[in-house]
Amino acid sequence: MPQPHPTPEPKLLTIERDGPLAILTMNRPDKRNAMCDALLAALEAFFSAPPEGVRAVVLTGTAGHYCSGLDLGEHVARDAEGTMRHSRNWHRVMDVIQFSGLPVISAMFGAVIGGGLELAAATHVRIAEPSTIFQLPEGRRGIYVGGGASVRIGRILGADRMCEMMLTGRKYTSEEGLALGLAHYAVGEGEALPLARDLALKIARNAQLSNYMMIQAISRISDMSRSDGLFTESLAAAVSQTSADAGEGLKAFLEKRPPQFR
């Protein structure tokens, strides 16, 4: 009797192409899209070698949730060194996402918790639906954040507010997140993904070099002294303003037409 073929495992990260856009959907619906090592590796693989022609990315979840953080059901007991290495791997992958050179727009709903909030903070534009819940519950579980929250989310909220958020485990709504900077847009139910696509298409029409400069320079300048930041700004301006796209942008403005960037 022929043996039935095993059902193939669903992809943890689905990738849809829409012209210059790539729409990435975290696909662990039974886990509220909790992050596991395989999903983290899939995100790293995409951003390390994005498909030719992709100029912007939309990142979202499925089944009513963006990402509920690290999958504690797959927690592996590690010693101090192993835990540090695991955390540093998260830092490396979040940097790959933030600095790949592609603008990334998060369409958020449901759980944006723990590592899910760390992931969202590594993206460049964040849109929240009314169901969105922002939370850093690690302190309630006897652990400390390890995916970059101390830096990325700490800079958004400020150290004082982040400390209170972690000590109490409080949850922020989409509107509260908007006021605090955890989201850039608060929209109605079902509106995050359409707005993310629209914004991504708008961003994709920018010159690739100026998008790249904004992604690479702005957050790094925030790490620098005032004088180093100003000098770095001048370098970024010199590179971008002497490019062919800058010439096209000026010409298009004078001719009152949309620019046609490379």
Farthest CA pair distance, the chain: 76
- Cα 245 to Cα 247: distance, rounded to the nearest angstrom: 5
User: Residue 164 catalytic?
Assistant: no
Q: Of the listed 44, 52, 74, 118, which one is catalytic?
A: 118
The phi and psi torsions of 187 (rounded to 5 degrees) equal: -130, 175
User: Residue 9 catalytic?
Assistant: no
Token readout for 19 is: 């012209």
Smallest CA-to-CA distance from 63 within 110, 115, 114 is with 110
Starting at the earlier edge strand, list the strands of the sheet with 13-18.
13-18, 21-26, 56-60, 104-108, 125-128, 185-186
Q: Of the listed 44, 52, 138, 248, which one is catalytic?
A: 138
Kindly list the catalytic residues. 118, 138
